[in-house]
Amino acid sequence: MPLTELERGRVLEIVRRHGSEPTRLLQILREMQEEFRHVPGEAMEIAAAELGVPRPQVQGVAEFYSFLSLLPQGRFHLLISDSISDQMLGSRELAAYLAEKLGVEPGATRADGRVSLGFTSCTGLCDQGPAGLVNGLWLSRLDCQRIDLIADAIERELPLAEWPGEWFAVEDNIRQPGLLLTGPIEPGSALKLAVENGFDAVFTEIDRSGLRGRGGAGFQTSWKWKFCFEGPEELAICPVDKREKIERYVVCNADEGEPGTFKDRVLLNRYAHQVFEGMTLCAGIVGASQGFLYLRGEYLSLRPRLEAVLAERRSQNLLGVNILGQAGFDFDIEIHLGAGAYICGEESALIESLEGKRGVPRNRPPYPVTHGYLGRPTVVNNVETFTAAAAITLKGGEWFASHGTEKSKGSKILSICGDCARPGIYEYDFGVSIAQILDDCGAENTLGVQVGGPSGTFISEREFSRRLAFEDLASGGSFMIFDQSRDILQIVRNFTHFFAHESCGFCTPCRVGTSLLRNELDKICSGHGTAGDLVELGNLGRFIKSASHCGLGQTAANPVLNTLERYPEVYQARLKSIGFEPGFDLDGALETARRLTGRDDAMAHLEQEES
Amino acid sequence: MTTNPTITIDGKTVPFREGETLMEAATRAGIYIPHLCHNPEFTPHGSCKLCTVQVNGRNCRACTFPADVGQTVLNDTQELNDTRRTITQMLFVEGNHFCPSCEKSGNCDLQGAAYFLNMLDGHFPYFYPSRQMDASHPDVLLDRDRCIFCELCVRASREVDGKNVFGIAGRGIGNRLVVNSSSGLLKDSELDAGDKATQVCPVGAIIVKHHGFEVPIGERIYDGKPIDEVSLAKEMAMGEGENG
Amino acid sequence: MAKKIKVATTSLAGCFGCHMSFLDIDERILQLAEVAEFDRSPLTDIKHCGDIVDIGLVEGGLCNAENVHTLREFRKHCRTLVAVGACAINGGLPAMRNHIALEECLAEAYLQGVGVDNPHIPNDPELPLLLDRVHPIHEVVKVDYFLPGCPPSADVFWKFLTDLVSGREPSLSYELVHYD
């Protein structure tokens, strides 16, 4: 249906409100989605013309992100989290109940256009699931009773603003504070100290603290900041004072997409000042004047609060020009929303997304730290890293470095979910044993723990003496507990489906391999695998790991490989003793022909296994 | 006198120039590294992963990775060629590649690479995807069944033709080649048969019409010569032209 | 004299072109006959394998239920099973129907197509039912070797069989590998 004159005007208005800047494309498309419940083809064309971007590029972005749709969604768009922790709390059954109640299939929009339903990757409410999103906003602790009420509100077309607040309520659940979570620093206190003592002194403290990136990879934070300041090699011939003129960027990676991770959600909710303060300190050190908070689309509910904190900081001259009276210390932060793409947690994909493009990881070298946003030196750090940096500035590097282990200084904030009595946020000094953590959160009869999310490591009960540290088990913060009642293969299937869904499709091994891996695993899990299939599964997993372009592909087979190594017998038990079985439903493949010919004789059927 | 910096590839000493990629250095030295999405005329892309080599023990993409002093590169090894064959098999099962019915057969780089790697079968279950064919343009056919997402047409249209006729939409295994026009059809785009974008497709996804099956079987590019010879002859000559 | 090796061949959803190409080994077939004897094959008109054979060559992919039965029976009787030609390896030209729904294919052929009179979809129980999609044979049985080509040339057959008969691991040189 063509857009009306009024609607075309609305489209133009959205584009122009973003200054007709191509880097704002994803933000523009998000707003169109909100306005029209989809991204109309005509709107893409208007945007392309107005932004001076080729149409295929606009379409490429619109089709890349899960939260954008080319077909109209309902006025109430419901997404149910499909994370394993939500599934364990019954999310699949609830979704089926909801679908029946509303008369709409998952993935579809009801004929009257009122409601649509779907599944989505982890929404970051793993400690208070089953969870979901309605028009992008969190719904926590869903149950049948709540679903009844929600369905009723939808049928009455009750505006979201009039839905009871408790439906949207999200708890911080900080169960065990440590080094950082004992309380936020006084807003501006670290910056004041920095302005007094100079940024060189701040850098020295950060360096002394031994702080490493908290996203999981663990790159030394001070080095990253130093490399950003020094800029690309081709500038090495410039005198340092000239180099300071180059635009640099500070980006906070709040695309907390690793299933089971929700500690950044809590930090952004309760420690937002401190996060922004950390970013501002970094800006002072590297010489950046523009910062971005890349907030995952699933965390839309946090935006108003974050905007308010930014406004407050501007009013207190903690952001803006001549910050705290220091001439030339200019820095501001913009919030940039994602739109449902796990890959954007990868720093170069995140930068592409910030530039308004598809979240496709870049080739390296060059590295983002020297050639990042718009090709300029860019620091990308995790929310927790900036939080720690602000505290270190105030309390000193020694304070931080005196905690943790030799190679992992300080503390780590964990998001714990799954089978335990007290899911939530726990902060530990690095070096803590898995057994200690399990004990603290009240986990019993534990079968295994997924440390670091699906891309991390699945450890069995024989390994609970292992320690949380870069030297042993690294984690971006996800800590999912499974007790003896859980089916390991069901967990692995969930993760493997997740990666196939989230693969960006850039490189062959991941694009094709993750789908092949998913299909092969499904075949085995559904009881149709043979010994040959198991060999194939392992080979395929190792291939994807070694041949893929970025961290997504390189870790996508971890769930399969980890569990094949630890629980071969679980896989063996699902295998057929026969030599070979087809990977597709043979008799089902005759169904159409049977229907069209009206036949049902013996020759109109096929056995799945050779008799 | 300063000596040129060098790397070694499979034990052979190979000189390189500042800023060169492994692929460029190798090609100039007459060493073939299998590749599909790479074409020296365009910005390297690094997506097909066929040019995976081992640099000091780590897997890297030769088309994008800069050559540097002290690199020991492995290229023609059993392990790497196995990896490359698997990648090629994945490309075959992902799309709908029916060589006997394809005009590009015999001149197709995917096929040429597969022959070179002694690929005898697709190994994996075939996806048989349903993809839209676009025969609307009077002079150019777009058969998406054969697309391998190398983005050479995207780059050629952008970098040489200045038209941006092509782009990639979708995500993951759902990726698809899209066309710059409101209808989404080639006939409504700015594409001309003479555009660079119609000449760079390594497979039979973009075919200039009215020229099918002109060269008899037995005389096509890869009927006689393997892709390493063909590729080196072409790309070494291009390199010399550049450095005149 | 050493015991002859037994060879069988069969054709599924293919065009018999592979069999024709096999016969193009011409007079070399006499050499082959000295070391091999043919069991089930369209060439001998033997309909079922008498016993276990050493090498089974399969031309064609799987487009209907009968193909599946034939292939399975054949596999059971062959020590070494060889997928011969594009159709057996990737479905080949018959698989080009795979992106068209079977219902549409049959409607076009038997209901709405040009020149159709007495429109109806044949339903005689003697006729094998079509599968939704055409599949290569390695998706339904274990395959030991693949001989690509449409068809593989006579030299491919010759090289492969002589390798196998003399106990060498079969290998095809560059000139012998092609997909059309």
Q: Is residue C159 part of a domain?
A: yes
- The rounded distance, in Å, linking the Cα atoms of A402 and A396 is 10
Q: What is the pLDDT of residues C126-176, one digit of tens each?
A: 999 999 999 999 999 999 999 999 999 999 999 999 999 889 999 999 999
Other C-beta atoms lying within 10 Å of the C-beta of residue A22: 19
- The rounded distance, in Å, linking the Cα atoms of A38 and B218 is 53
Which residue segment(s) compose the domain that A562 sits in?
A: 489-574
Q: How far, rounded to the nearest angstrom, does the alpha carbon of residue A96 sit from its chain's CA centroid?
A: 25
- The rounded distance, in Å, linking the Cα atoms of C77 and C80 is 9
Residues A480 and A498 in one domain: no
Q: Which of A501, A506, A512 sits opposite B94 (nearest CB)?
A: A512
The torsion angles phi and psi of B6, rounded to 5 degrees, stand at -135, 160
Closest C-alpha among C56, C47, C59, C51 to residue C75: C56
- Kindly state the tokens that stand for A606: 């096929």
Confirm or reject contact between C91 and chain B (CB < 8 A).
yes
pLDDT the model gives residue B239: 80
Q: What is the pLDDT of residues B83-125, one digit of tens each?
A: 999 999 999 999 999 999 999 999 999 999 999 999 999 999 9
Residues A83 and A140 in one domain: yes
Confirm or reject contact between A507 and chain B (CB < 8 A).
yes
- Kindly state the tokens that stand for C23: 């016969």
Residues B172 and B112 in one domain: yes
Residues B61 and B87 in one domain: no
Of A64, A85, A110, the last residue of a domain is A64
pLDDT the model gives residue A579: 80
Confirm or reject contact between A589 and chain C (CB < 8 A).
yes
The letter for the amino acid at B233 is: A
Query: By percentage, how much of chain A surpasses pLDDT 90?
Result: 94
Mutate to test the interface with C, among B98, B133, B217 (most CBs of C within 10 A): B98
Of A342, A368, A401, the last residue of a domain is A401
pLDDT the model gives residue B228: 97
Nearest chain B residue to A43 by CA: give it.
B182
Q: What is the pLDDT of residues A550-599, one digit of tens each?
A: 999 999 999 999 999 999 999 999 998 878 888 889 999 999 999 999 99
Residues B1 and B45 in one domain: yes
CATH number at residue B182: 3.30.70.20
Residues B93 and B175 in one domain: yes
Supply the ipTM of this predicted assembly.
0.97
Confirm or reject contact between B218 and chain C (CB < 8 A).
no
Q: Is residue C111 part of a domain?
A: no
Residues of C in contact with A531 (CB under 8 A): none
- The rounded distance, in Å, linking the Cα atoms of C51 and B88 is 38
Q: Is residue B101 part of a domain?
A: yes
Q: Is residue C164 part of a domain?
A: yes
Q: Is residue C65 part of a domain?
A: yes
Q: Is residue A585 part of a domain?
A: no
Residues A213 and A327 in one domain: yes
- Coil, strand or helix at A554: helix
Helices (H) and strands (E) in chain C, counts: 6, 7
Q: Which of A60, A341, A509 sits opposite B168 (nearest CB)?
A: A60
A272 CB burial (10 A radius; 0-12, 13-18, 19+): buried
- The rounded distance, in Å, linking the Cα atoms of B216 and B219 is 6
pLDDT the model gives residue B244: 38
Confirm or reject contact between A599 and chain C (CB < 8 A).
yes
- The rounded distance, in Å, linking the Cα atoms of A159 and A142 is 19
CATH number at residue B66: 3.10.20.740
Residues B87 and B197 in one domain: yes
| CA pseudo-torsion sign A576, A581, A585, A590 | negative
Residues of A in contact with B167 (CB under 8 A): 54-57, 59-60
Q: Is residue B219 part of a domain?
A: no
Q: Is residue B226 part of a domain?
A: no
CATH number at residue A274: 3.40.50.11540
pLDDT the model gives residue A233: 75
Instruction: Please tell me which chains touch A, using 3 or more CB pairs under 8 Å as the contact test.
Output: B, C
Q: Is residue A438 part of a domain?
A: yes
Closest C-alpha among A428, A412, A552 to residue A476: A412
Please report where in the chains the tokens 């071969």 appear, as a residue: A568
Residues in B lying within 8 Å of A, measured between beta carbons: 44, 46-50, 52, 59, 61, 64-66, 83, 86-87, 90-91, 93-94, 124-125, 127, 148-149, 154, 158, 164-175, 178-182
Q: Is residue B171 part of a domain?
A: yes
Please report where in the chains the tokens 């047409």 appear, as a residue: B153
pLDDT the model gives residue A567: 96
If one counts the domains in chain B, the total is 2
CATH number at residue A525: 1.20.1440.230
pLDDT interval class at A239 (50, 70, 90): low
- The rounded distance, in Å, linking the Cα atoms of A185 and A207 is 20
Q: Is residue C124 part of a domain?
A: no
Give the pLDDT mean for A31-50.
97
Q: How far is CA B61 from CA B78, B89, C95, in A?
A: 17, 19, 34
pLDDT interval class at A277 (50, 70, 90): very high
Q: Is residue C38 part of a domain?
A: yes
- The rounded distance, in Å, linking the Cα atoms of A83 and A257 is 11
pLDDT the model gives residue A119: 98
Q: Is residue A161 part of a domain?
A: yes
Residues A537 and A431 in one domain: no
pLDDT interval class at C1 (50, 70, 90): low
Other C-beta atoms lying within 10 Å of the C-beta of residue B207: 21
Of A335, A370, A401, the last residue of a domain is A401
Q: Is residue B229 part of a domain?
A: no
> At A42, which helix (H) or strand (E)?
helix A41-51
Q: Which of A532, A589, A597 sits opposite C131 (nearest CB)?
A: A589
Q: Do C106 and A596 touch (CB under 8 A)?
A: yes
Residues of B in contact with A515 (CB under 8 A): 127, 172-173
Q: How far is CA A521 from CA A293, A334, A577, B108, B122, in A?
A: 37, 42, 17, 33, 19
Residues B53 and B115 in one domain: no
- The rounded distance, in Å, linking the Cα atoms of B243 and B32 is 20
Query: By percentage, how much of chain C surpasses pLDDT 70?
Result: 99
Put residue A476 in one of left, alpha, beta given phi > 0 → left and psi -120 to 50 → alpha: alpha
Is residue C133 within 8 A of residue A590, CB to CB? The reply is no
- Kindly state the tokens that stand for B50: 């066929």
Is residue C87 within 8 A of residue C94, CB to CB? The reply is yes
* Nearest chain A CA: its distance from B151 CA (Å): 10
Which residue segment(s) compose the domain that C83 sits in?
A: 5-98+132-176
Q: How far, rounded to the nearest angstrom, does the alpha carbon of residue B200 sit from its chain's CA centroid?
A: 9
If one counts the domains in chain C, the total is 1
Mutate to test the interface with C, among B119, B128, B176, B228 (most CBs of C within 10 A): B128
Is residue B185 within 8 A of residue B134, CB to CB? The reply is yes
- The rounded distance, in Å, linking the Cα atoms of B205 and B185 is 15
Peptide bond into C170 cis (omega under 30): no
Q: Which residues contact B2 (CB under 8 A, 6 or more apart)?
A: none
Q: Is residue B125 part of a domain?
A: yes
Q: Do C90 and B106 touch (CB under 8 A)?
A: no
CATH number at residue A107: 3.40.30.10
Q: What is the pLDDT of residues A171-204, one digit of tens each?
A: 999 999 999 999 999 999 999 999 999 999 999 9
Q: What is the pLDDT of residues A258-274, one digit of tens each?
A: 999 999 999 999 999 99
- Kindly state the tokens that stand for B147: 């697309």
Confirm or reject contact between A304 and chain C (CB < 8 A).
no
- The rounded distance, in Å, linking the Cα atoms of A405 and A398 is 13
Residues of B in contact with C172 (CB under 8 A): 118, 120
Q: How far is CA A161 from CA A301, A319, C62, in A?
A: 13, 31, 58
Q: Do C125 and A594 touch (CB under 8 A)?
A: no
Q: What is the largest CA-CA distance in chain A?
A: 89
Cross-strand pairs, A337: A295
Residues of B in contact with A57 (CB under 8 A): 164, 167
A541 CB burial (10 A radius; 0-12, 13-18, 19+): buried
- The rounded distance, in Å, linking the Cα atoms of A213 and A215 is 6
Residues of C in contact with A594 (CB under 8 A): 129
Residues B56 and B140 in one domain: no
Instruction: Please tell me which chains touch B, using 3 or more CB pairs under 8 Å as the contact test.
Output: A, C
**Strand-strand pairing, A290-295 and A332-337:** parallel
Residues of B in contact with A516 (CB under 8 A): 90, 93, 124-125
Nearest chain C residue to B116 by CA: give it.
C174
Give the pLDDT mean for C118-124.
93
Confirm or reject contact between C169 and chain B (CB < 8 A).
no
- The rounded distance, in Å, linking the Cα atoms of B106 and A424 is 61
* Nearest chain C CA: its distance from A536 CA (Å): 13
Residues A98 and A217 in one domain: no
If one counts the domains in chain A, the total is 5
The letter for the amino acid at A166 is: E
Residues written for chain C = 180
Q: Is residue A582 part of a domain?
A: no
Q: Is residue B44 part of a domain?
A: yes
Tens of each residue's pLDDT in chain B, 244 residues = 457 899 999 999 999 999 999 999 999 999 999 999 999 999 999 999 999 999 999 999 999 999 999 999 999 999 999 999 999 999 999 999 999 999 999 999 999 999 999 999 999 999 999 999 999 999 999 999 999 999 999 999 999 999 999 999 999 999 999 999 999 999 999 999 999 999 999 999 999 999 888 999 999 999 989 999 999 999 999 887 655 3
Q: Do B94 and A511 touch (CB under 8 A)?
A: yes
Residues A459 and A525 in one domain: no
Q: Is residue C144 part of a domain?
A: yes
Is residue B59 within 8 A of residue B71, CB to CB? The reply is no
Q: Is residue A128 part of a domain?
A: yes
Closest C-alpha among A91, A114, A406 to residue A259: A91
Q: What is the pLDDT of residues C71-83, one digit of tens each?
A: 999 999 999 999 9
Q: Is residue B217 part of a domain?
A: no
E strand map for A219-304: 249-254, 290-295
Residues A50 and A23 in one domain: yes
Q: Does the structure show a pLDDT above 80 at A54?
A: yes
* Nearest chain A CA: its distance from C143 CA (Å): 10
Residues B72 and B127 in one domain: no
Q: Does the structure show a pLDDT above 80 at C114?
A: yes
Q: Is residue C112 part of a domain?
A: no
Q: What is the pLDDT of residues A77-134, one digit of tens each?
A: 999 999 999 999 999 999 999 999 999 999 999 999 999 999 999 999 999 999 999 9
CATH number at residue C165: 3.40.50.700
Residues A243 and A363 in one domain: yes
Which residue segment(s) compose the domain that B11 sits in?
A: 1-29+40-76
Residues A216 and A304 in one domain: yes
Confirm or reject contact between B221 and chain C (CB < 8 A).
no
* Nearest chain B CA: its distance from A365 CA (Å): 7
Residues of B in contact with C102 (CB under 8 A): none
| Rg (chain B; Cα; Å) | 19
Please report where in the chains the tokens 């718009």 appear, as a residue: A374
Residues of C in contact with B100 (CB under 8 A): 86, 92-93, 150, 179-180
* Nearest chain B CA: its distance from C117 CA (Å): 31
Q: Which of C68, C72, C129 sits opposite A597 (nearest CB)?
A: C129
Residues B12 and B127 in one domain: no
Please report where in the chains the tokens 């997993």 appear, as a residue: A541
pTM of the model: 0.96
Q: Which residues contact A13 (CB under 8 A, 6 or more apart)?
A: none
Q: Does the structure show a pLDDT above 60 at A236?
A: no
Nearest chain B residue to A548 by CA: give it.
B49
Q: Do B106 and C180 touch (CB under 8 A)?
A: yes
Residues A247 and A371 in one domain: yes
pLDDT the model gives residue A240: 53
